[in-house]
Structure 1
Amino acid sequence: MIKVLVIDDSPLIRMVLTEILQQAGDIEVVGVAEDPYEAREKIKTLHPDVLTLDVEMPKMDGISFLKNLMRLRPMPVIMVSTLTKQGSPVTLEALEIGAVDFIAKPSVNVASQLQSYAELLYQKIRVAHKAKLRPFKPHDDKDVTVVNEFKAFSSQAVLAIGASTGGTEAIKEVLIRMPTHCPPIVVTQHIPPVFSTSFALRMDKTCAITVKEAVDGDVLKPGFAYIAPGDQHLKVVRRGTQLHCLLDNGELVNRHKPAVDVLFHSLVESVGKHTSAVLLTGMGSDGARGLLALREVGAHTFAQDEATSVVWGMPRAAFEMNAAQALVPLPKVCQQLLKSAARN
């Protein structure tokens, strides 16, 4: 049984989350806490495997508690967040500190949606239980060294990144090292709509390159990274001599929209062997078939290694179907992508 401690100042949310989790079969709610001080004591006595943590609470906010927790006693945390413009930057900060994942607060007045919510919550708890954790260490992003060893790149090169659970921080680790003359970068991360906007803004402030949420018709330019909106697939299409972003509001693919496979398959047609693509941390197998299709047309394909992945699901699927030419530790991904796109 996976032992869970539910931390939320709302009695109703504590009750709803407890009732949902107790029905999973392999998950046991060993306790609840209404604030971080009560949570701290219950962690010592109940020894939970996973925490669900509210962002806004009395006495101490969730972010401050999470920083202390990940510094002193790292453990898997799922943030239970309000999926709004106000809530998204704080939740992204929580992922930066070390939370494994996040989920929306349950809509307790919409009974028809509770079953799908429950299945998603179970999945996130199970993944968090097995996730690799990293202690929180405050650092200055300005201290990161940009990869400047490659002076020129093929004019036809495009870099592509796909990720899911743990991906916001993994993508940051890649983009923050990119030089301003790098090839165009396209990114699909499994993320809700409002969060993709906040994530792109956060990356743009952090990185030397320009990072933006992709807009339909955007022309791909060097030194730019284009992040798929949280509710649309991102494709790359060729129009004459230029490459453009195309947003597609089609069906879910591999239960996701945006889906990594959609992006990678579009690159097979539009960029082909000039693509350098990597599949980063995430649960499931989205992106593996697309990466294989890219490899089969001569593109450079990579997957993050197990040791540096929060969840080695998507990269593992790619590795097992021989879609990736190499497994690469996260700190080396940027260099590997640039090396494969460098002009000899």
Structure 2
Amino acid sequence: MPEGHSVHRIARQFDRNIVGRPVGASSPQGRFVEGASVLDGRTATAVKAVGKQMFLEFDDDLWLRVHLGMYGAWDFAGQIFADPTIASANGRMGQTNQRGTTLPPDGDHAEGAADPVGVDERILDAAGENSLTSIGAPRRTRVHVRMSEQTTGLADEGEMWPPPIVGQVRLRLLTELTCADLRGPTACELQTPDEVAATIAKLGPDPLVDDVAAGEERFTSVVRRKPTSIGLLLMDQSVVGGIGNVYRAELLFRARQNPHTPGREVPEEIVREIWRDWVRLLAIGVETGQMMTMDDLDPAAYRAAMASRDDRHWVYHRAGLPCRICGTAIVVEEVATRKLYWCPSCQA
């Protein structure tokens, strides 16, 4: 499941490439035809991410809410520009269509805008965890289509624009320069401003949306009164926004906290440190596009970690392997249908 850093990167992608432009909307799959017809021809005016959900505003106070869930993803094609405040990303966030990028026609490149960047200029990620062109749930296939570097056209000779529909596209949003295809979301619906506010009110604090200090107090207060295990609380989006299976395992290991301890029994200073650590890790995830959770790496180790998830995490996906600290075999359990990785010695 895409975690909070991915959704914030998607929102920034929309802000750079979709917001402020009239949008053509369609539902090639046929499951969002009515909603797409309402959006078609409107101008996207704002976008925001909260936890694992994205809200895209259109004129006339109309909002599109998207929750990618376990299998959802966005594919981007055409002229794609990175947010200059975050690192350029390579590969894909586990998605199918890896279409290249190109500079816009003369005059369309706003002052201060980041140029699209070539894959050869970045640290390659074999798992495709970070991407400008595709962000969301993993896909098995990866198709490379290189875009032309000419400034007068969108694609190489023979490439179609708009790009052909590939797979089950719930919603296609199309500007003159950029195409965004949504596949497999848990939620894709239109909302009024009041409905958006009600949805967000049900979500826990998000360090990139809420005041960080106030978020810490809210998170600590909720966790410290709950009999539910801290491992489950971190996955509860009404408790804290954006944490998924990877960050849950890594945050608990970094705090040396047993995931089965009831929230109300976790020392307050540990609860606060988990929040503060989430603030740090979420910012790193948004900047790099990768769930980097290891600290104090030398340059060679850092490059290896950025290139491979196997070198990026303390416990996640390391069942049976020795703990990087104590050597004890990492265990994996199924808790509430999700896999929980932890070290029974360091987190005893």
**More helix per residue:** 1
By relative contact order (CA 8 Å, sep 6+), the higher-ranking structure is 2
TM value normalised by structure 1: 0.31
TM value normalised by structure 2: 0.30
